[in-house]
Amino acid sequence: MKVIYKITYPNGKIFIGKDLTDTITYLGSVSNELIENDFTREELRDFTVRKEILFESRDEQEVNRLESEYILKFRANDPAVGYNRWPIFIPHSF
């Protein structure tokens, strides 16, 4: 199966990604620098993340298409909410 997953970090921030091989140990391509900037060295010594499968399909094109929709739906590209940096977050000013 091909999957779209959500990783939740101890600070509540999230990362949405896809895995076309459905490998249980794959935790995405989130920027190490972004994670390291949000946690102290001590906090990184005992670090737990949660991986949830949000969507699964045998159709790779469907998973590729839906990944950005899930990122936007969960606001994972908003730096206050998540670690995705694509699609670019554009704050709304009303």
The answer to whether residue 94 scores a pLDDT higher than 80 is no
Q: Where are the domains of the chain?
A: 2-73
Give the tens place of pLDDT for each residue, 24-65. Answer: 899 989 999 999 999 999 999 999 999 999 999 999 999 999
Of 66, 65, 91, which Cα lies nearest the Cα of 77? 91
Question: Where is 46: in which H helix or E strand?
Answer: none
* Cβ–Cβ under 8 Å, residues 67 and 61: no
pLDDT score of 69: 97
Tell me the average pLDDT across 88-93: 77
pLDDT score of 93: 59
Give the three-class secondary structure for 40.
coil
The answer to whether residue 92 scores a pLDDT higher than 90 is no
pLDDT score of 89: 84
